[in-house]
Copies of this chain bind each other. A is one copy, B any other.
Amino acid sequence: MTSSPARDRILDTAFRLFYARGIRAVGVDLIISESGVAKATFYKHFPAKDELVLAYLDRVDVIWTGQLHAAAEAAGPEPADQLVGLFDALGTACRREGYRGCAFINAAAEAAPGTAIHTRTVVHKQSVLAWLRDLAARAGADDPDALARTLALLLDGGLSDGALAADPEAASAAKLAATHLVSAAVPRAAG
């Protein structure tokens, strides 16, 4: 029950449609018909639409966190380099066809504060922030908290602006700014 072909198909379809069109804009009937399952099957796996939305957010969290970590590690073993390298994940994401910004920020825009969905987005952002803080501390930053917060701002700003197409170069501007901020914050910058 935690996994089945029908459930996977539903989640795949929801992932695609929710991200592309927004959560409220996509009805369960559309997800059901596009994923080719019966209505009863849908409601067996996800007793309410909101539970599907949470499963969608969990999947986005796994994917995005994975891309962030991979980009960081690709920059080498030094935490200071990783803090800059992770911005490559932003560049890759923005360039992808159908890019529509951060799924969490988008979901939060549609959910009322205090709901399970809204809370899930807050938890996600806090876990990214905690990771950045850890990296900043290991990089030997003077003020790891401040550096992590600033980089999180840059990351989320890039995620938002890329979606609004206000600037196709948002990702590289973010990485460049991150380079400056990291080397200013870390006494003996690595690399």
Contacts and interface: CB of A to CB of B under 8 A. Distances in A.
Interface of A: 21-22, 24-25, 100-102, 104-113, 121-122, 125-126, 129, 146, 149-150, 152-161, 163-167, 169-170, 173-174, 176-177, 180-181, 184
Q: How many copies are assembled?
A: 2
Given A24-B110, A157-B156, A149 B121 contact: no
A161 B125 contact: yes
Contacts of A112: 21, 25
Contacts of A177: 150, 153-154, 177, 181
A157 B165 contact: no
Given A22-B109, A106-B109, A109-B110, A122 B164 contact: yes
B173 A146 contact: yes
A18 to B, nearest CB: 11
Given A153-B161, A180-B180, 4 more contacts: A24-B25, A122-B165, A149-B173, A156-B161
25 contacts: A24-B25, A100-B109, A101-B105, A104-B164, A105-B160, A108-B163, A109-B110, A109-B163, A121-B164, A122-B164, A122-B165, A122-B166, A125-B166, A126-B166, A149-B170, A149-B173, A150-B177, A152-B166, A153-B153, A153-B174, A153-B177, A156-B156, A156-B160, A159-B160, A184-B184
Most buried by B among A159, A161, A170: A161
Contacts of A149: 167, 169-170, 173
B146 A152 contact: no
A173 B161 contact: no
B125 A113 contact: no
Contacts of A100: 109, 113
A107 B160 CA distance: 12
